[in-house]
């Protein structure tokens, strides 16, 4: 126990010193500034950014160098494949499209990023399905695979870009079909964190200072929003302390082994706080609180408000990732059929946009309207967990869920 306490004391001492230094030199360092706080970083926005970087004719002016580095760092199986060498040799001929329609298969989907190239009588196609936030749509990856097949390309490849799952769901493509594509070198799964090495390589090769700084800002954005790294300097300082001695390494591992259990215990406290908050301050006649699917740390665990007068869907607070991370809040249906048959589904997004101007409202196949709950990072930041410990989180969750219910109900969104 003494070893653990000594480690914690040393980490606190070092990080406090770093915070003091950052405060003293904040005007020079601007540690919290990031260009991407002022840029549209929804799915389409990120697709446009990545597409322009991959485009040999992109505004970055570095010709095909970024695309070549992407193939080398992110798609080594293609880079080393004999039947893709003509593409590598003629990579500067590549055209890059955003939101390319699946015209050949007639499914009316849009491929987020599509790369096409013809060289030496051989046609190549690469589809990048960009999934930074939303879940997979029904048969989405299967439809893209069919589209690439139907285009009669000599070689094609499908990329699934998502930070939180290694493969798309069965909802999107059958596992046997996915295995077959992988075996034929037609599928790769990439994480946003996998892009870091590529972007750093681009920085090294880039010959323009403005573009180099943009790449640095994009790296910081990915580290913060997809990897939970708020401050690389802080991480470096903590790691140095952890490695100072055998005792510190041993204590660090003991702390890591107990971290998930600590989170589960705090979630149990949150559950009790939510029950108490609901019982004390909210109208049981309007809706009921359901916390039956929360506590294990699995993907998509939820807190729900279920109205007895509307059984097609429910107000939902849901963790999008395992181990209680990336919560969102919105209205959720059980099936796509319920969404498609409900006449007021589209009005829900409009109602929230009009009444929650400080939130970025989005929609997905099962969610006609929702937003990402703040604090968003529950994986590596202590903020959310301290709020639970201090009894503040249950009140915040219930207040925002009730506000959403009142807005939707008041705008007649539950009618029909």
Can you name the residues that pair with 318 across neighbouring β-strands? 302, 328
3-state secondary structure of 305: strand
**Which residues, at least 6 apart from 410, have a Cβ–Cβ distance to it below 8 Å?**
none
Q: What is the mean pLDDT of residues 100-129?
A: 91
**Position 288 confidence tier, pLDDT thresholds 50, 70, 90:** very high
Tokens of 189: 């799964």
H/E stretch holding 14 reads: helix 2-24
Whether 405 and 296 share a structural domain: yes
Whether 187 and 326 share a structural domain: no
- Tell me, yes or no, whether 379 lies in a domain: yes
**Position 314 confidence tier, pLDDT thresholds 50, 70, 90:** very high
3-state secondary structure of 324: coil
Instruction: Select, from the ranges 95-104, 159-168, 255-264, the one with the highest average predicted confidence (pLDDT).
Output: 95-104
- Tell me, yes or no, whether 299 lies in a domain: yes
Whether 183 and 260 share a structural domain: no
Within 10 Å of residue 393's Cβ, how many Cβ atoms?
A: 23
Tokens of 100: 């390319």
Residue 114 has pLDDT above 90, yes or no: yes
Can you name the residues that pair with 189 across neighbouring β-strands? 160
- Tell me, yes or no, whether 226 lies in a domain: no
The pLDDT, as a whole number, for residue 66 is: 96
Contact indicator for 160, 129 with CB cutoff of 8 Å: yes
Instruction: Select, from the ranges 56-60, 241-245, 344-348, the one with the highest average predicted confidence (pLDDT).
Output: 56-60
Whether 207 and 269 share a structural domain: no
**Position 201 confidence tier, pLDDT thresholds 50, 70, 90:** very high
Write the pLDDT tens digit of every residue in 338-352. Answer: 877 788 888 899 999
Whether 209 and 282 share a structural domain: no
Backbone φ and ψ of 119, nearest 5°: -150, 135
DSSP label at 300?
Answer: T
Whether 262 and 386 share a structural domain: yes
Whether 178 and 267 share a structural domain: no
Q: Residues 349-352: contacts with CB within 8 Å, 24+ apart?
A: 351/407, 351/408, 351/411, 351/413, 352/404, 352/407, 352/408
Residue 73 has pLDDT above 90, yes or no: yes
Whether 267 and 398 share a structural domain: yes
The pLDDT, as a whole number, for residue 393 is: 96
To the nearest whole percent, how much of the chain has pLDDT over 70?
84
Instruction: Select, from the ranges 80-89, 130-139, 244-253, the one with the highest average predicted confidence (pLDDT).
Output: 80-89
- Tell me, yes or no, whether 237 lies in a domain: no
Q: From CA 159, how far away is CA 130, in angstroms rounded?
A: 8
Whether 80 and 204 share a structural domain: yes
* The domain boundary residue, chosen from 150, 181, 214: 214
Q: Is the peptide bond before 375 cis (omega within 30 degrees of 0)?
A: yes
Whether 377 and 260 share a structural domain: yes
- Tell me, yes or no, whether 154 lies in a domain: yes
Q: What is the mean pLDDT of residues 265-278?
A: 95
Write the pLDDT tens digit of every residue in 5-40. Answer: 554 455 445 445 445 544 544 454 455 666 767 777
The pLDDT, as a whole number, for residue 42 is: 83
Tokens of 63: 């010709």
Whether 191 and 329 share a structural domain: no
Backbone φ and ψ of 286, nearest 5°: -85, -40
Q: What is the mean pLDDT of residues 181-209?
A: 93
Residue 180 has pLDDT above 90, yes or no: yes
3-state secondary structure of 124: strand
H/E stretch holding 302 reads: strand 302-307
**Position 186 confidence tier, pLDDT thresholds 50, 70, 90:** very high
Q: From CA 387, how far away is CA 274, in angstroms rounded?
A: 13
- Tell me, yes or no, whether 232 lies in a domain: no
**Position 117 confidence tier, pLDDT thresholds 50, 70, 90:** very high
Domain of residue 141, residue span:
38-214
The pLDDT, as a whole number, for residue 34 is: 67
Q: What is the mean pLDDT of residues 80-91?
A: 93
* The domain boundary residue, chosen from 194, 214, 234: 214
- Tell me, yes or no, whether 398 lies in a domain: yes
Least confidently predicted of 48-57, 267-276, 362-371: 362-371
To the nearest whole percent, how much of the chain has pLDDT over 90?
50
The pLDDT, as a whole number, for residue 236 is: 60
* The domain boundary residue, chosen from 149, 181, 214: 214
Domain count, the chain: 2
Q: What is the mean pLDDT of residues 154-163?
A: 93
Residue 310 has pLDDT above 60, yes or no: yes
Residue 4 has pLDDT above 50, yes or no: no
**What mean pLDDT, rounded, does the chain reach?**
84
Whether 261 and 354 share a structural domain: yes
The pLDDT, as a whole number, for residue 167 is: 80
Please classify residue 54 by burial: count the beta carbons closer than 10 Å to its beta carbon, then call 0-12 exposed, 13-18 middle and 19+ buried: buried
The pLDDT, as a whole number, for residue 309 is: 76
- Tell me, yes or no, whether 406 lies in a domain: yes
């Amino acid at each position: 126990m003494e070893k653990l306490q000594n480690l914690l004391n040393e980490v606190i001492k070092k990080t406090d010193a770093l915070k003091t230094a950052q405060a003293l030199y904040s005007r020079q360092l601007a540690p919290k500034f990031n260009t991407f706080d002022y840029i549209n970083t929804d799915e389409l926005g990120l697709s446009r950014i990545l597409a322009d970087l991959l485009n040999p004719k992109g505004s970055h002016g570095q010709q095909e160098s970024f695309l070549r580095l992407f193939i080398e760092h992110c798609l080594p199986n293609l880079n080393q494949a004999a039947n893709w060498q003509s593409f590598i040799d003629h990579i500067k001929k590549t055209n890059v499209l955003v939101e390319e329609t699946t015209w050949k298969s007639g499914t009316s989907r849009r491929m987020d990023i599509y790369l096409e190239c013809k060289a030496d009588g051989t046609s190549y196609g690469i589809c990048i399905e960009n999934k930074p936030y939303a879940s997979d749509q029904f048969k989405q990856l299967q439809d893209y695979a069919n589209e690439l097949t139907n285009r009669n390309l000599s070689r094609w490849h499908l990329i699934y870009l998502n930070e939180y799952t290694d493969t798309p769901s069965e909802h999107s493509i059958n596992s046997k079909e996915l295995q077959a594509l992988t075996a034929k070198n037609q599928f790769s799964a990439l994480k946003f964190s996998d892009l870091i090495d590529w972007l750093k390589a681009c920085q090294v090769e880039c010959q323009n200072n403005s573009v180099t700084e943009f790449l640095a800002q994009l790296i910081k954005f990915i580290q913060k929003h997809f990897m939970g790294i708020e401050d690389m300097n802080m991480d470096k300082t903590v790691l140095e302390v952890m490695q100072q001695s055998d005792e510190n390494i041993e204590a660090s591992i003991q702390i890591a082994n107990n971290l998930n259990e600590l989170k589960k215990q705090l979630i149990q406290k949150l559950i009790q706080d939510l029950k108490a908050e609901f019982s004390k301050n909210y109208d049981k006649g309007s809706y009921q609180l359901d916390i039956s699917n929360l506590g294990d740390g699995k993907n998509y665990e939820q807190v729900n408000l279920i109205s007895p007068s509307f059984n097609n869907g429910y107000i939902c607070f849901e963790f999008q990732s395992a181990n209680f991370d990336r919560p969102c809040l919105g209205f959720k249906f059980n099936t796509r059929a319920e969404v498609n048959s409900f006449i007021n589904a589209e009005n829900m997004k409009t109602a929230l946009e009009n009444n929650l101007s400080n939130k970025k409202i989005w929609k997905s196949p099962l969610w006609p309207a929702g937003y990402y709950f703040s604090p968003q990072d529950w994986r590596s930041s202590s903020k959310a967990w301290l709020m639970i410990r201090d009894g503040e989180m249950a009140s915040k969750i219930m207040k925002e869920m009730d506000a959403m219910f009142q807005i939707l109900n008041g705008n007649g969104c539950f009618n029909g």
